[in-house]
Structure 1
Amino acid sequence: MTTKTLNHRAEGPTSAEPLLLGPSLGTSLALWDALAPELAVNHRVIRFDLPGHGGSPAGLIGPGATVGDIAGLVLRLADELGVERFAYAGVSLGGAVGLHLAVHHPERVSSLAVICSSAHFGGTRPWQERAAAVRAGGPAAMRELAGSADGRWFTPGFTVERLVEDHRAADPDSYAACCDALAAFDLRGRLAEVRTPTLLIAGREDPATPPAHLREIADAVPGASLTEIPGASHLAPAERPEAVLAALRGHFTGFAQRGVAVRREVLGDAHVDRAQARQTPFTARFQDFISRYAWGEIWTDPTLTRRERSLVTLTALVAHGHLDELAMHVRAARRNGLSADEIGAVLLQAGVYLGVPAANSAFAVAQRVLAEDGDI
């Protein structure tokens, strides 16, 4: 019985944040050979093969396939692996899959890197013609295309024979279906909807998706950043792995660093220093989770101001009776610009909807904290 799951390889600790790596058309998960072991130090790296490429079976997609169809296979793989939310990096078609996920399934993608890719791939006709030629020529057409792969993928004089061989061996019908997906892909009108922290990486010598294509995405996606890799063509992770690795590390591990900075700004140095001093090997992963996810992603999201986030946080803590946390966040609310009167108004509002006992306890905590700090 033919499996319906993309072939994949998982590396790194199972408890670490998942990072999915998507390949380009004609290649396999071997595209990430130089980077995956390094990225797996801090992530649960899951790299996959496109349909009919590498170890993935043919027949997962057919004529008229879309990037959304491939993205659906990626989500199915994540679901089968028990991965709900993940970071994602993809090259070319793999990058287009990442953009589709960020637009259509933003709740699944924590951060995104789009490498040597585009929000559109030069119109439908060239891809339709390539798909038709491959369907008509079969394996011979794939061998012919593989013969020109170096010129499309790498700067002059560079090659990775393993990837060229993967191109030769790809299933023609699946390859053609991926061409159909590229022909139909155009997300230019929806890039502004992306709220996932996004890094664009361009190969400065890339003829297929030149830096202007990545710049177009960076200009449209709020808060996105762009890195250009000198001396790299279309498969930058294979040709300039060190430079791509440095950019990805800075992007994907930067959440914890930004999170610690924001945590200090909101909660104060003394609190964060105490938390770090109490950290043990047993609690280290939890502290990293708090810094990376709560402070590095949620508190840095520009949709709400820090002032507004304090209003929400105070109410939530009163609702659940987390009085120790409430004391900490009363001080945080003052740092975020709330006055003592405004904090009192929040607690009074909570009393209406959460009950007098909850508000009574909350007022006692807030009064003590505000009095200690000389605010009342």
Structure 2
Amino acid sequence: MRKIIATLLVAALTASVMLPAVAAPTQVSTRIKDVAKVQGVRGNQLVGYGLIVGLAGTGDSDKSTFTVQSITNMLKSFGVMISTSQLKPKNVAAVMVTANLPPFAKPGDAIDITVSSMGDAKSLAGGTLLQTPLRAANGQVYAVGQGPVSTGGFVVGAGGSSQQKNFPTAGNVPNGALVEREVPMNFTDRDKGRITLSLSQPDFTTANRISEAIDQRFGQITVAKDPGTVVVSVPYNYNDNLVGFVASIEELAVTPDTIAKVVINERTGTVVIGSNVTIDQVAVAQGGLTVKIGQTTDVSQPPPFSRGNTVVTTNTTVQAKEEPAGLITLPASASVGDVVAALNAVGATPRDVISILQAIKAAGALHADLQIM
């Protein structure tokens, strides 16, 4: 009996040595603040309509009636009365002004704004945005923008040729808007004394790990409500120091978990393969078939005094050549390194890799979410 057990142990050890080792995917820890945010802390979008002046004849034409009307209304506010038929707005352009009001922005803070042409202006380069109120979705003004426009592009035209870089009909004004009103931020439930964390990528495992990391640091104060939400009760000793409490949570390290995914961009030939991608045993063949068709023209000349006609004939030749296909077998549960090495071994180009991965997914051997952009 002992001999049989010893023999089985030796066989098991030998088999374990002969089996190829599959390296586990490397997991990287990150801060909670990089994978989650506090609910209630958010920015607000602002939009406004304005005029850019000082353009070198590249503004809207008189066909843009809204530009002409806007100029007339603006001049009227300054006490200048003029008819719309007298305006030639070549140096003025009507634009939409957009901005993102960051959370906790205070009155007097400066924020960046973006201007985009609405009419038929050729370029906004060298122009200056006049004072433009910026409103939120509730219709209230939260900032006012004004300043010189930077397009970051150019347009050159000479001798019938032209060159354009970037988009001269859109630009930005760095620090071009002043915040006039603060948006109140309520990121705590003061009645229940808790805050809520929202995950950037909802995931059951990641939410549970965040909850465990916070509990290890502060005790049992969290509840993972769902894959995208973790509710945290504020400890009594942090009631007067919520900023310090949130900062202590954000600096905790967790290891986020993600689903296996392969992202493909067919336009650029880009393939990004996640570390958790595995495949079943599958054989991949990659090769090409080249067919060449050629034509030659022959002239058939009749013998002398035969009263025959000269005939032109066309001879067609067909040559087919098949490149030797590279055939490789991918082992079961191959890692991402095995997949990449195997596809490189068959000489696959990025376009070929896309087709191969789609075929492997269709065969049911690729265990990952295949996302095509």
- TM above 0.5: no
Return the structure number with greater helix share.
1
TM-score (norm 2): 0.19
Larger radius of gyration: 2
